[in-house]
């Protein structure tokens, strides 16, 4: 269809006085004796453009009333004029076509809806200002991530979605199977042999293991794709399907990778401040007062860094009563992470050198024998957004770790080979895209950062 984006006529004042063809959906409308108004949005920007209908031109009242229905889709030809508000433009309609009508059952009527209600209409909520802004930021954020890695010499690699191993070893893998219930199958082994791959298969929880394969030939790589976890926890920060960005870097130790993660976070936030100014201002006003200042501060200041054992001491001395115990050897819970970031550091913090027993098998063992060269990046308001580590590059140590955790050796034979042939120090991390979205938009629930959230008992 011949038309131009509303963004173009708003941003380029040379359109004033010209006749244009535009399309969009009616967001709000007003009717009065001689004129009617419809605010049109076509998704090209947060702002709406007002279309003015002169009733002398649009004599057919039925037709005009259908065009003023909230949610209706219109194509309008008209002259661009300077609007009433500063810098705004409006369109004086000469001709308009109703592309798709709407009616009073359209769920997005004028009142402000709760986020909970909007989650029940995932197919329509993107037509609200909030979700229009969320998904524009998500697109720009993804672009900024690709841009950062591309400009720094990384290759974008595609790790498989169906895998035969559990990277994190947390037993949260969704099964992939083509066989239903079959009472004639006598054992798990028989069932697996009959199944599509002839062995157990699942949806990947992380592209890291394949990422390491690629990094030990290409040097610097990153993955960017969906990952899946059958986590039984119904929290505002956990999704069953989420996107992860996982760089893997050869010839890099834990300090190198912490530097890379810091540069990446700063770079993508700076990009958003520049390219999503209107959206961030909207979130700052409606969802998280001070959001822009917070993000600017992240770009301008150093991230904090604390050893896990010192973090435990900080928590013990906090004077707070936590629900979960604080003890060396126990994992940090959300309440602990939130205290460290929201109250103690008030900025992003890397917690480094976690106890080996609570972390994954692949992490490099520190000389003390009880901790690993691993770090989580925690941020105020969200908690963990990055899980990061130097990988165990020593064949014998890795083999012993896999065995001691009771993992199936044959599943990790190729992975062990990387330590047999030309092993090198290497490190990587995983950034959760939706957690990052929560941080940059102020959305307090992960369900509001992804188009179609998949969480426990929820699949719309
Ligand atoms: O800390 P995780 O489990 O680390 C890994 O998967 C490593 N293999 C990454 C690597 O080193 N290549 O997950 C990484 C990040 C978390 O910090 C969090 O941001 C996100 O993924 N994440 C989730 N996001 C939403 N819902 C969930 N259930 C998530 N689980 C992890
Ligand atoms: Mg983690």
Reported as a pLDDT band with limits 50, 70 and 90, residue 87 is: confident
| Position 413 pLDDT exceeds 90 | yes
| Position 181 pLDDT exceeds 90 | no
Give residue 169's pLDDT.
Answer: 83
| Position 215 pLDDT exceeds 90 | yes
Region 113-123: mean pLDDT is 96
| Position 223 pLDDT exceeds 80 | yes
Separation of CA 431 and ligand 1 centre (Å): 6
Region 391-399: mean pLDDT is 98
Q: Which atom of ligand 1 is nearest to the CA of 246?
A: 12
| 379, 435, 454: residue to mutate for ligand 1 pocket, most atoms within 8 A of CB | 435
Give residue 19's pLDDT.
Answer: 97
The answer to whether the CB of 258 falls within 8 A of the CB of 288 is no
| Position 62 pLDDT exceeds 90 | no
Ligand 1 site residues, Cβ closer than 6 angstroms: 167-168, 206, 208, 229, 231, 238-239, 242, 244, 246, 384-389, 428-430, 432, 434-435, 446
* Dist. CA 248–CA 267, nearest whole Å: 18
| Position 59 pLDDT exceeds 90 | no
User: Could you tell me how many helices (H) and strands (E) the chain has, helices first?
Assistant: 14, 17
Q: Which ligand is nearest to the CA of 231?
A: 1
CA 128 to chain centre: 19
Give residue 217's pLDDT.
Answer: 98
Give residue 233's pLDDT.
Answer: 81
* Dist. CA 220–CA 374, nearest whole Å: 19
| 228, 235, 236, 387: residue to mutate for ligand 1 pocket, most atoms within 8 A of CB | 387
Q: Which atom of ligand 1 is nearest to the CA of 377?
A: 17
| Position 102 pLDDT exceeds 80 | yes
pLDDT tens column, 280-300: 999 999 999 999 999 999 999
| Position 455 pLDDT exceeds 80 | yes
Separation of CA 435 and ligand 2 centre (Å): 12
Which value, to the nearest 10 degrees, does the dihedral of the CA atoms of residues 114, 116, 122, 128 take? 20
Radius of gyration of the chain (CA): 27
Q: Which ligand is nearest to the CA of 386?
A: 1
The pairing of beta strand 349-355 with beta strand 304-307: parallel
Separation of CA 363 and ligand 2 centre (Å): 12
Q: Which ligand is nearest to the CA of 363?
A: 1
Which value, to the nearest 10 degrees, does the dihedral of the CA atoms of residues 337, 340, 345, 346 take? 60
| Position 110 pLDDT exceeds 80 | no
- Mean of the per-residue pLDDT values of the chain: 96
Going by alpha carbons, the residue nearest to atom 21 of ligand 1 is 432
For 442: left if phi > 0, alpha if psi spans -120 to 50, otherwise beta; the answer is left
Region 316-340: mean pLDDT is 96
Residue 348: name the closest of 316, 390, 320, 384 by CA. 384
Contacts of 452 (CB under 8 A, 6+ apart): 122, 460
Give residue 318's pLDDT.
Answer: 96
pTM: predicted TM-score of the whole model, two decimal places: 0.96
């Amino acid at each position: 269809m011949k038309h131009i984006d509303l963004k173009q006529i708003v941003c380029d004042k040379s359109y004033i006085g010209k006749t244009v063809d535009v399309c969009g959906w009616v967001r709000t409308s007003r009717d009065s004796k001689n004129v009617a108004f419809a605010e049109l949005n076509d998704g090209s920007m947060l702002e709406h453009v007002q279309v003015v209908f002169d009733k002398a031109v649009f004599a057919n009242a039925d037709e005009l009333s259908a065009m003023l229905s909230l949610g209706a889709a219109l194509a309008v030809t008209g002259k661009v004029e300077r609007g009433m508000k500063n810098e705004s433009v409006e369109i004086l309609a000469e001709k308009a076509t109703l592309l798709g009508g709407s009616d009073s059952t359209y769920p997005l009527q004028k009142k402000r809806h709760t986020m909970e209600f909007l989650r029940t209409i995932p197919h329509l909520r993107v037509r609200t200002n909030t979700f229009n802004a969320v998904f524009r930021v998500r697109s720009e954020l993804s672009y900024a991530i690709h841009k950062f890695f591309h400009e720094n010499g990384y290759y974008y690699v595609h790790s498989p979605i169906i895998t035969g191993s559990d990277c994190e070893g947390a037993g949260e893998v969704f099964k992939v199977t083509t066989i239903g219930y079959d009472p004639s199958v006598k054992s798990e082994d028989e069932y697996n042999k009959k199944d599509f791959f002839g062995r157990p298969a699942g949806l990947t929880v992380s592209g890291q293991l394949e990422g390491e394969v690629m990094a030990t030939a290409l040097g610097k790589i990153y993955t960017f794709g969906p990952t899946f976890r059958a986590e039984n926890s119904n929290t505002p920060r956990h999704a069953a399907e989420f996107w992860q960005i996982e760089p893997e870097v050869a010839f890099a130790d834990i300090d190198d990778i912490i530097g890379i993660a810091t540069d990446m976070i700063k770079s993508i936030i700076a990009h958003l401040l520049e390219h999503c100014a209107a959206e961030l201002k909207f979130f700052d006003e409606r969802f998280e007062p001070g959001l822009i200042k917070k993000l600017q501060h992240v770009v301008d200041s150093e991230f904090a860094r604390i050893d896990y054992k010192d973090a435990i001491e900080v928590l013990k001395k906090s004077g707070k009563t936590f629900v979960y115990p604080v003890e060396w050897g126990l994992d940090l819970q959300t309440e602990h992470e939130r205290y460290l970031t929201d109250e103690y550091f008030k900025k992003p913090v890397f917690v480094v050198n976690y106890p080996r027993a609570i972390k994954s098998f692949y992490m490099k063992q520190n000389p003390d024998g009880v901790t690993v060269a691993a770090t989580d990046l925690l941020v105020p308001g969200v908690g963990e957004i990055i899980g990061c580590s130097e990988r165990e590059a020593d064949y014998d140590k890795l083999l012993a770790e896999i065995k001691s955790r009771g993992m199936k050796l044959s599943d990790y034979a190729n992975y062990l080979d990387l330590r047999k042939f030309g092993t090198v120090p290497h490190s990587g991390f995983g950034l959760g895209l939706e957690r990052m979205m929560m941080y940059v938009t102020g959305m307090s629930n992960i369900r509001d950062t992804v188009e179609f959230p998949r969480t426990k008992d929820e699949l719309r």
